[in-house]
Each structure stands twice: as C-alpha cells, then as structure tokens.
Amino acid sequence: DRRPTAFGQATYVRIHRLDMAPMGYRELWEVFAKLYPGKWAVQSFPPADRILDQVNKYHLMVFDMVPDGLDIGPNAPKGSIFLARPIAWEQE
C-alpha cells in the first residue's frame, strides 16, 4: 500500500509472526531489514481512537528516502540538534 506522507512517499506494511507471538525490537528490525535493506521505516503509534489493536501486528511506514529530521544516528546531518526525552518505564 503506497501513500503520500509529510516525509514523502511511503509503503505501509504490517509485520507479524506466523504463530502470532510477540516480536522484540531486534526480531522486528531483522525482518524489516531483510525485506527492505537500506531503507528507513517508522512504526506507527496512533492516538487511542485510531488504534488498530491487532494481536502482535506491527505497522510500519517504509520510506523511499531518509525522512528529513528523523535521523538519530552518528551520520545525522551536521548541525542537527536532537533533544530526545528519555523515558524510563517500569511496569506496575
């Protein structure tokens, strides 16, 4: 499913395991990287009234180009300032 976004054209993909078990970040990333080598993606976390709560399905937007302003790695554009808000989470 191709669609325009504020970051340019993107492909909407849903990833899940055949047994529908949860996937950790690394496992999800490895599937993504195998299917879309060298591409950037963003996982969707919509507001509550827009959630597609499908058991252990992960919704990604895969971009044709590096999404401007989202590069957080050591190769981010010079002069970029990233003020990430650290969040430590402990389940109750």
Q: Can you tell me the mean pLDDT for 73-89?
A: 67
C-alpha closest to that of 11 among 39, 53, 52, 51: 39
> For residue range 43-75, what is the model confidence (pLDDT) as tens digits?
988 898 988 777 899 999 999 988 877 777 677
CA distances from 91 to 11, 43, 88 (A): 33, 22, 10
Residue with token string 């993107």: 10
Question: What pLDDT, on the 0 to 100 scale, is given for residue 19?
Answer: 94
What is the pLDDT averaged over residues 31-53?
A: 91
pLDDT at 4 over 90: yes
pTM as predicted: 0.75
- Proportion of the chain above pLDDT 70, given as a percent: 87
Domain residue extents for the chain? 1-92
